[in-house]
Amino acid sequence: MLKGIAKIITRKLKKYCLLLSVYLNSLFVRFRFHALKPKHFPMAPIDPHSFTDSTHPLATHISLSFFFDFPSSTIHASALLTLPAPYSGPLSLDIRALTVHSVIDPHKPSRPLSYVISHPDPIKGCHLTFTLSNAASVLILYSTSPSSSALQWLSPPQTFNKTLPFVYTQCQAIHARSVFPCQDTPSARVRYAAKLNVPRQLSAVMSARHVSRRDPIAGEGSALVSGDALWCSEDRVVEEFVMEQPIPPYLFAFAVGELGFREVGPRTRVYSEAVPAVLESAATEFASTEDMIRQGEALFGPYVWERFDLLVLPPSFPYGGMENPRMTFLTPTVLKGDASGAQVVAHELAHSWTGNLITNKTNEHFWLNEGFTTYAERRIVEAVQGEDRAALNIGIGWRGLHKEMERFKDSLEVTKLKTNQEGVDPDDVFSRVPYEKGFQFLWRIERQVGRPAFDEFLKKYIATFKFQSIDTETFLEFLKANLPGIEKEVDLVVWTEGTGIPPDAYEPVSNIYAKIVSMANEFKLGRMPGEDEVADWRGQEWELYLENLPKPIEPSQVVELNSRFRLAESKDYDVKVTFLLLAIASNCKDYLGEVEKTLKEVGRMKYLVPLYRALVEGNGNEEEKILAKQVFAAARETYHPIAQGGIETILNKHC
């Protein structure tokens, strides 16, 4: 009996020992897993478009080393992120289409940190996480991808000179993460330093102060995938830059190519590819830049960025301009030959105060950047070019705002100033609404309190929040505190949270504006303007006239309009594209060849998106849909990745 009991006890002990062994082994495995992977706490995101966690410290400085490999359309790079103080715990970064090679605590370089990269989110990209232990910095070695959404690599045939390659960035709204790992939200502001290793026959510019152009130094590239041997090749040169003021990541920018420049003012150079005709045209177009800077300072306070240089990019640049501090990027379509292209420069200059100095906290408050800047731009234009020119600008914007409201009649959230963009790609909802409705809101406040009081308010606003990122609520609280009683006179909730155009929005009043609108209305009676009436018209006058014509008109009227004024051949793309849109809307097929030519020679989304949309929207225009698909297939590689994505969205929806 005792033997039987002993056997039972032995069997149970073996069973319990086995269970204990399994349990201890599971603990060991779990311990190893958590040692290798950072802990995943519930995230507290601060931005619907970023993995940045509000419980983590924000980097204050980034040191970058870039080796540009043009044959592979790749940058081999390192990014050293510095935190405000030593930190222990998880850290979240945004990346997109980056190959991460290693994550290193610089004080323990022999023991790389473990890291986790999430599956790609279709909007935000990937979530890079790792755990730091009492570290104030972290070094990430990585390479970009040829499919980087911020980078466009141009082959020599795609450039002006046709001889050397070119590459440039466009990081707004959430594309900096495809160039370097970062907390890619405008809530985060960083200083940076950069070393760009490029072929010796090329040069570089950045949204930063240029420090030197020098030979590579041994050891600088040893940690990179490219290696020190390639870094120090005789055919390479290093361009160094520093940005000493904190900026949101979307304002990070560079361009590398065969560059030249012209001096146009004490604080301004105009850069482009080293093509004399382009450089001279740009220098002439932007000769008034210093006057605009001075007017901006008079209106909004000191210009703090030291220089305001301009870079005219190749035709593929997707925007009119990008307000990168110290180095505004511009499309060549602003070179109109009559100085009216300076209008775009006025807008990007105004961003030096509203957008760059004070930034929207997230893209849901984008109007704080663009509404303020549109207002500031028009004040600068009024001071430099006169009230009539500013009124034309406002009138074109007014028409554009009404068109956007019609476009988004089934997506009313987009017509608000303060929007909800959870799960929304900011590129997909980009529109004129934050620009023009934001302008109208500020113009309404100005009319209520008077210009002198509003000017004082603006200066105080900029001085109070400079180098900060704020949201709509912060602005409204400041507004009510500094213009007491304004909420009783202007419905702030309707303006910021309401859909559509508020009833107290305002169409401009000026003699020239009223005359042009009246002439457009007379078109309904069969009257076209006489040549003497339009002899002194520039692009803005024609754009306003065409925007106000009834749509559609008879195809024969489209042809007659062009035979008189050669609008389809205009060198001003604002005029040409507005005319081509009228032709498409009027089912006049005579100009489809000009539409195709235009879509193949420009990359600016202001022109591409409405033309493609006009070709494919509606029923019964199968010929135009076929044309749109054929042109996009032929021209796709000449467009920036941001433009490619926008057009693909349109074609997928309608074709």
Please, are residues 89 and 129 in contact by the beta-carbon 8 Å criterion?
Answer: no
321 annotated binding-site participant? yes
Please compute, for residue 214, the number of CA atoms within 13 A of its CA located in the half-sphere on the CB side: 10
- Strand residues in 386-536 grouped as ranges (E): 468-470
Distance CA 170, CA 151 (A): 7
Question: Which one is catalytic: 273, 348, 543, 596?
Answer: 348
76 annotated binding-site participant? no
71 annotated binding-site participant? no
Question: Residue 239: which region, alpha, beta or left (left: phi > 0; alpha: psi -120 to 50)?
Answer: beta
Distance CA 506, CA 513 (A): 13
Question: Which one is catalytic: 271, 435, 461, 607?
Answer: 435
Please, are residues 250 and 174 in contact by the beta-carbon 8 Å criterion?
Answer: yes
Q: Which residue has the tokens 């304002």?
A: 251
How buried is 288 (Cβ within 10 angstroms: 0-12 exposed, 13-18 middle, 19+ buried)?
Answer: middle
Q: What is the 3-state secondary structure (H, E, C) of 67-135?
A: EEEHHHCEEEEEEEEEEEEEEEEEEEEEECCCEEEEEECCCCCCCCECEEECCCECCCEEEEEEEEEEE
588 annotated binding-site participant? no
Can you spell out the DSSP letters for 210-240?
A: EEEEE---TTTTTTSTTHHHHHT-TTEEEEE
348 annotated active-site: yes
639 annotated binding-site participant? no
Name 275's bridge partners. none
Can you spell out the DSSP letters for 176-208?
A: GGGTS-B--STT--EEEEEEEEEETT-EEEESS
319 annotated binding-site participant? yes
Q: List the structure tokens of 282.
A: 């740009």
170 annotated binding-site participant? yes
201 annotated binding-site participant? no
Distance CA 454, CA 443 (A): 9
519 annotated binding-site participant? no
Using alpha carbons only, what angle is made at residue 536 by residues 531 and 541, rounded to the nearest 5 degrees? 95
318 annotated binding-site participant? yes
Is the Cα dihedral 416, 422, 423, 426 positive or negative?
positive
Phi, psi for 261 (deg, rounded to 5): -155, 165
370 annotated binding-site participant? yes
The gap from C-alpha 478 to its chain's centroid, in whole angstroms, comes to: 27
Q: Which residue has the tokens 């005789």?
A: 234
Instruction: Collapse the DSSP code of 363 into the 3-class scheme (helix H, G, I; strand E, B; otherwise coil) and give the result.
Output: helix
Tell me which H or E stretch contains 453.
helix 451-465
Which residues are identified as catalytic?
A: 348, 435
Which residues does the annotation place in the binding site for a peptide? Answer: 170-172, 318-323, 604-606
Which residues does the annotation place in the binding site? Answer: 170-172, 318-323, 347, 351, 370, 604-606
Which residues does the annotation place in the binding site for Zn(2+)? Answer: 347, 351, 370
